[in-house]
Amino acid sequence: MVSITDDILKAAQISETELRQEIATLLYQKGLPLMRAAQFAQMDRFAFQHLLASKQIPIQYDIDDFNHDVEALKSLP
């Protein structure tokens, strides 16, 4: 586990939320699945996708993502 103290955040002029988002985008680029990265960033999937787009990071969408979306749509009334 990594521990980052408040004084480091203050010196870097970044909030804990911003740091989580930065780490999540880096991990996503390294191969962490979208949902796991979004959870780490404490964001919903669509907000995280918007964050990625704002940083011009391409969305990786594969067959597993597609199947997950299809199942989610089937559960709608």
Tell me how far the alpha carbon of residue 20 is from its chain's centroid.
9
The answer for residues whose C-beta is within 8 angstroms of residue 15's C-beta and 6 or more apart is: 9
Q: Return mean pLDDT, the chain.
A: 93
Residue 21 has pLDDT above 90, yes or no: yes
Annotated domain spans of the chain: 6-74
Structure confidence at residue 2 as a pLDDT band (50, 70, 90): confident
Per residue in 3-16, pLDDT tens?
A: 999 999 999 999 99
Q: Helix (H, G, I), strand (E, B), or coil: what is residue 50?
A: helix
The answer for residues whose C-beta is within 8 angstroms of residue 58's C-beta and 6 or more apart is: 52
Per residue in 55-74, pLDDT tens?
A: 999 998 788 878 888 998 99
What's the whole-model pTM score? 0.76
Per residue in 22-41, pLDDT tens?
A: 999 999 999 999 999 999 99
